[in-house]
Amino acid sequence: MRRPIVAGNWKMHGTRVDNARLIEELLSRYPDRSIAQCLVCPPFVYLQEVGRLLRDGPIGLGAQDVCAEAQGAFTGEVSAAMLKDVGCGHVIVGHSERRWVYHESDQLVARKFAAAQARALVPILCVGEQLSDREAGRTEEVIARQLDVVLELCGVSALESAVIAYEPVWAIGTGRSATPEQAEVVHAFIRERIGARDAKIAMATRILYGGSVKAGNAAELFDQPDVDGGLIGGASLNAEEFLAILAAAGSR
Ligand code: PEP
């Protein structure tokens, strides 16, 4: 049985006051015996302080991105070692906003994945198709390409300490989630593709769904056999919503 994960991606939101309020509320109402693993990914500047607020409790700390280089003259970048140093356990790589807004290539994303693992951070590798890809019947082709570049660079065994998030670009922040059936088809495809290289690793890899997950649709998405939790954007900024999503993941 794969332990579900619920990860909150705060994107470029929050203030020190908002963050403290949100963490306090999450911790005070956190279910005693949550089956799901939970983490939050604040913006870089707040990582250390949010880590302190989390007080080694049940919620882990993750970052939203990482530099592919280990250190040096890369102004504006943040290395995997730095993320580790401030207490991160996870880092998102290849989020669609990085791929499409900042034109990160599949190769760069794969190098970020490798850089994270080199410092014992668990990468959350995001993959997902644009609406035009889906409409043209190219969803699997796009996902396979994004996944294969990482598998080629890092090897399938790298997935033993990684998480994958399927995030259809057309569903992110749009309020239009994939249906549970649409999500399951792609999740099963991802698992099969990994399984072609190593069946045991494929069965153990956790594949999260992301894209307009809310308290109201989380349970039906997480009920799908290959959906192992969620990467949550907007709804992770609201304690009520986020805790309800966590409860849905815990009761699957
Ligand atoms: C995300 O940012 O990864 C995401 C899935 O956003 P939202 O839940 O707001 O669609």
Q: Report d(CA 139, CA 187) in Å as an integer.
A: 12
Which ranges of 155-238 does DSSP label H, i.e. alpha helix? 180-195, 199-204, 215-222
pLDDT value of position 88: 98
Query: Which of 5, 6, 164, 231 should be mutated for ligand 1, with most atoms under 8 A from CB?
Result: 231
- What value does the mean pLDDT of the chain take? 97
pLDDT tier for residue 193 given thresholds of 50, 70 and 90: very high
pLDDT value of position 35: 87
Kind and range of the H or E element at 25?
A: helix 16-28
Q: Report d(CA 237, CA 154) in Å as an integer.
A: 33
Token readout for 156 is 């399938």
Indicate whether residue 40 lines ligand 1 (CB < 6 A). Answer: no
How far apart, in Å, are the Cα atoms of 169 and each of 85, 142, 149, 165, 234?
Answer: 32, 12, 19, 12, 14
Using a pLDDT cut of 70, give the percent of the chain over it. 100
pLDDT value of position 80: 98
- Indicate if the pLDDT at residue 36 is higher than 80: yes
Amino acid in position 171: A
- Mean pLDDT score, 22-41: 93
pLDDT value of position 201: 98
Which domains occur in the chain, in start order? 5-250 (3.20.20.70)
Query: Which of 65, 90, 209, 213 should be mutated for ligand 1, with most atoms under 8 A from CB?
Result: 213
Indicate whether residue 37 lines ligand 1 (CB < 6 A). Answer: no
pLDDT value of position 34: 77
- Indicate if the pLDDT at residue 179 is higher than 80: yes
- For 107-176, the DSSP string reads HHHHHHHHHHHHTT-EEEEEE---HHHHHTT-HHHHHHHHHHHHHHHH-GGGGGG-EEEE--GGGTTSS-
Q: Which among 104, 129, 167, 241 is annotated as catalytic? A: 167
DSSP 8-state symbol, 32: T
Ligand 1: residue whose CA is nearest its atom 7: 233
- Indicate if the pLDDT at residue 113 is higher than 90: yes
> Is 95 designated active site?
yes
DSSP 8-state symbol, 41: E
pLDDT tier for residue 32 given thresholds of 50, 70 and 90: confident
- Mean pLDDT score, 64-84: 98
Ligand 1: residue whose CA is nearest its atom 6: 233
- As a residue count, the chain comes to 252
pLDDT value of position 56: 84
Ligand 1 nearest atom to the CA of residue 97, by list position: 2
Q: What is the pLDDT of residues 223-232, one digit of tens each?
A: 999 999 999 9
Compute, in angstroms, the gap from residue 137 CA to the centroid of ligand 1. 23
Compute, in angstroms, the gap from residue 118 CA to the centroid of ligand 1. 27
Strands 5-9 and 59-63: unpaired
